[in-house]
Amino acid sequence: MYSLSEDEAGLVEVVDEQELETQIPLPEFLKEEKKEKSGADRGTLYHKLMECLCFAEVKQEADLYHQLEQLIAKGIFTKEDMKIFQFKKILSFFESSLGKRMTKAEQKQNLWREAPFVIGIPACEIKEEWNSEELVLVQGIIDAYFEEEDGLVLMDYKTDRLEKEVLFIERYEAQLTYYKKALEQITGKKVKEKWIYSFHLGREIKV
């Protein structure tokens, strides 16, 4: 079975390291010294957080803190994990057009997160030099997708420190194309849009 490479699947990701800025009281787990983590660790934690959060309950930073404290109590995260998050950047996602659409879909139970898939892709579509139509099994995990009246919307979170939208598109367009094919095969429904949300840039990117 062929697994997407790190460039294709976005497994190695880096998140900006600016200090957390907030004007509201910090919970205890954020007052301690931050612990360094690798880019891969940070990317994994951001993805896990976005899988676990209840979108509809996030209105301000205090709401994020409250949910995170609950997730720590359940053993899903540790206090050390929490120190790497930049809450203003996470809140910016919920204030974005894409975040609002996903929140609306969640309220209608039309939002799905961390969906694994296995799909057959002709070998030549993966690498030109393979020059074969033989199907290769490709596996991956879709960060999130949601359904609106006229079709499905596919999206992927990225924490890479890339400074231009076009760089995200160049790096991840092939990945999202695989995801689109997989999602349409699995659901039998049309994917009308593909999006990346960059936490570093703080904005959504249409692919």
Domain residue extents for the chain: 2-8+106-206, 12-95
Residue 145: predicted pLDDT: 98
Do 202 and 95 form a contact (C-beta atoms < 8 A)?
A: no
Q: How many CB atoms lie within 10 A of CB 200?
A: 18
Residue 188, by phi and psi: left (phi above 0), alpha (psi -120 to 50) or beta?
A: left
Sequence-ordered alpha helix ranges (H) in 74-192: 79-82, 87-95, 97-107, 123-126, 165-187
Residues of the chain with pLDDT under 70: 1-40
pLDDT confidence of residue 106: 97
Q: Which residues pair with 176 in a beta bridge?
A: none
Instruction: Return left, alpha or beta for 172; rule: phi > 0 is left, psi -120 to 50 is alpha, else beta.
Output: alpha
pTM of this prediction exceeds 0.85: no
**The pLDDT of residue 13:** 33
Q: CA 143, 82, 204, 59 torsion: positive or negative?
A: positive
Number of C-beta neighbours around residue 93 at 10 A: 22
What does the DSSP 8-state code read for residue 15? -
Neighbours of 187 (CB within 10 A): 14
202 contacts: CB under 8 Å, gap ≥ 6: 89, 92, 93
Q: Which of 120, 133, 112 is nearest to 189 (CA)?
A: 112
Which residue in 70, 85, 66 sits closest to 16, CA to CA?
85
Fold entry, domain 2-8+106-206 = Lambda Exonuclease; Chain A (3.90.320)
pLDDT in tens, 51-83: 999 999 999 889 998 999 999 999 999 888 888
In this prediction, residue 7 carries a pLDDT of 45
What one-letter code names the amino acid at 185? Answer: Q
